[in-house]
A = this chain, B = another copy of it.
Amino acid sequence: LHEIIRPTTIIRSPRLDSRTGCSITLASETFQFTGSFKFRAAYNVAASVKQKMIITASSGNFGQALAYACSLLGKQCKVVMPDNSARVKVEAVKEFGGEVDLVKTTETSRSQRLAELAALHTDAYVASAYDDPLVIAGNASLGKEIASLPGGADAVVVPIGGGGLSAGIIDGLRQAQRQWPVYGCEPAMANDASRSLRAGKIIANESEPQTIADGARTLSIGNHNWKVLKEGLQDVIEVSEKSIEEAVRLLFFFANLKAEPTGAMSLAAVLTRADLFAGKKVVCVVSGGNIDPAAFIRIISAAKS
C-alpha cells in the first residue's frame, strides 16, 4: 500500500501561526493521487476485494479516486453520477479510467440505480465511499503518518463528512500508540456528527445540507465509522460557512495552498475555537484540493472581513 499512496504534504507557515496564535502543521492531502485523501481508501478497497469490477455512487472525490485505483489495478470501475453533475467532474472520472453511469435523479435515485447495476453485475463489488472497514483501514495510513510527526501534537483536527477519514485517523494514531486528542469539524448547517456525539447515537440530517463544504453534504455518519468515532473523538467543532471561506483564503494567501472548502474546515475550526487551541501544537488535516474554479475565484476575490 505505502508504495502507491503518496505521503501527505506537511506544511508549516509562520504567517498562519501568527494569525491563529497556534503552532499549526498542515497535513495536506491535496497532492494525493486524484487530489484528495479518498485515494487512500479507494485503493485499499480496490486492492483488497477479489472482484474484478467495482461499482459505486459518487459525484465527488471518491469516484475519481476509485476510478484511478481500479485503473492501476487493472479492474473495471463504474461510477453512478447525477446527470446534472459538473462536466469537469464527469470528465475527471472518465480520464482516470472509470465508466460514468449518468442517472436522472428526478426519476431514479442514485441508490436505486446502484441497486439496479448490482443486480445486473452480480460479480461486482459495490463500494461505499465511507461505510466500509476497508475505508477506515485505508485512511488509517494517514493517521500513522501523522503519528510520526517529529515534535508531536496537542490536537489533530479533521474534517467530517461520512466519518471515514476521522475514524481512519483515530485508528492510525491508536495503532501508533498516540493519545493525541482528535477533533472533528463539520459545517454548522450540516452538524449531524455533533448532534450524534451528544445523543450517543447516529443522528441523520433530514436532507442533504447545501453547505459550501460539499464533502460534508452526507446525510449521516457511516455505521462502521460511528463505532470508532463515538469513543475516539474528543469533540466536534461546528464551523460557519463564512469561516470556511476565510480559511480557504488564509490557506491561499499565507500557505500557498489551494484547498477545497471541505479541506479548509480544519483551519476554520481553529479560527472558530481560538480559545481552545491558543498556544497549542495543532495538526490541521486538509482533506483535498478539488474545487470548482469559479467557486474558488469567488472566495479568493471576496474582500477580507
Contact = CB atoms under 8 A, between A and B. Distances in A.
- Classify the secondary structure of A's interface with B: helix
Contacts of A252: 258, 293
A14 B33 contact: yes
Interface string A247-265: 0000011011110000000
Contacts of A68: 14
A108 interface: no
A56 interface: no
A256 B300 contact: no
Interface size class of A (residues with CB under 8 A): 20 to 34
A12 B7 CA distance: 12
A18 interface: yes
A30 B95 contact: no
A15 B92 CA distance: 9
Nearest to A95: B15
A9 B95 CA distance: 25
A177 interface: no
A301 interface: yes
A120 to B, nearest CB: 29
Interface in A135-177: none
Interface of A: 6, 9, 11-12, 14-15, 18, 30-31, 33, 35, 68, 92, 95-96, 252-253, 255-258, 289-290, 293, 296-297, 300-301
6 contacts: A14-B96, A30-B256, A31-B255, A293-B301, A296-B300, A297-B297
